[in-house]
Amino acid sequence: MILQRVGVIGLGIMGMAYATNLRRAGAEVVGFDPVPSARAALDILGGRGCATAAEVAKGADVILMALPSVKALNAVVAEILPHLHAGMVIAEMGTLPLEAKEAVRVACSEVGVALLDCPVSGTGAQAATGDLVVFASGEAADVEVLRPVFAAMARDIRHVGPFGAGMKLKLVANLLVTIHNLAAAEALLLAQKSGLDLGMVYEAIRSGAGNSRMFEVRAPLMIEGRYEPATMKMDVYQKDLALIMDYAREVACPVPLMAASLPFYSAALAQGRHKEDTGALFAVLQKMAPGPEGAV
């Protein structure tokens, strides 16, 4: 199937991974990011870096938005709205407050454009290899329009319900990611303090009942002490942590393990690990347990 002309607005870790995989699949990609080097990187891929988000709207059949904040989302939508055509389908793929996404959905509907809420489950490293799950929410027919696009950059596309269900599911998934990431770091530190070979530990745990996807993805980074370039930056992830806690309070849901994890992510910032991968929780714990085995 010939892919449509795909616009990607936001060419950070995730957006650039989307663009790269779409280009590999043969899609024509136009994209925008305020950082000139990101636009240049898209040009190198054979896509077209645009000077404005409006230019993307004019040159694309469908649009994926991978934006870091509500401020960025609102600014982009205000810019592209006059240039969208009726019947267009847009996927908002960020981890952002649901009320912000809903406001944008309403604005788009007023000009005949369908906005889907489509966050993804997976790290930047997983995005680079297409190892993502898309949590698509909105009208089923609109999801089908974008299914071939998603298939070029994800291993699993799930229509999870009406608009907003995707973001709710993303918060559930990120709660597990948050806890499992810390659990992986804690387990590896215990293994290290026990004098075990961490490479052996990784292989043994990966084949046993204690395994998790986060252990598989992040334990190698922890063992190597390789936290840059980040697949998810520690400072960026603070937004995700706040969204989970805010939503849990909103629905009156106790999240004791999630709450117990937060001080360790804050400690990472206190240690100046803002731009490091969230796998750096292992280094945070190591500093709490200095000694021959725990020293960094």
Distance CA(97)–CA(155), nearest Å, equals 25
Distance CA(157)–CA(150), nearest Å, equals 7
* DSSP per-residue letters across 231-290: SSBHHHHHHHHHHHHHHHHHTT---HHHHHHHHHHHHHHHTT-TTSBGGGHHHHHHHHS-
DSSP one-letter code for 2: P
DSSP one-letter code for 68: S
For residue 95, give Cα distances in angstroms to 101, 118, 210, 251: 10, 9, 28, 18
Neighbours of 111 (CB within 10 A): 13
Catalytic site residues?
Answer: 170
Strand ranges (E), the chain:
6-9, 29-32, 48-49, 62-65, 89-92, 114-117, 120-121, 133-137, 156-161
Taking only Cα atoms into account, the Rg of the chain, rounded to an integer number of angstroms, comes to 20
Distance CA(236)–CA(127), nearest Å, equals 17
Written as six digits, the tokens of 42 are 């898209």
Written as six digits, the tokens of 161 are 């319900």
Residue 280 in contact with residue 227, Cβ under 8 Å?
Answer: yes
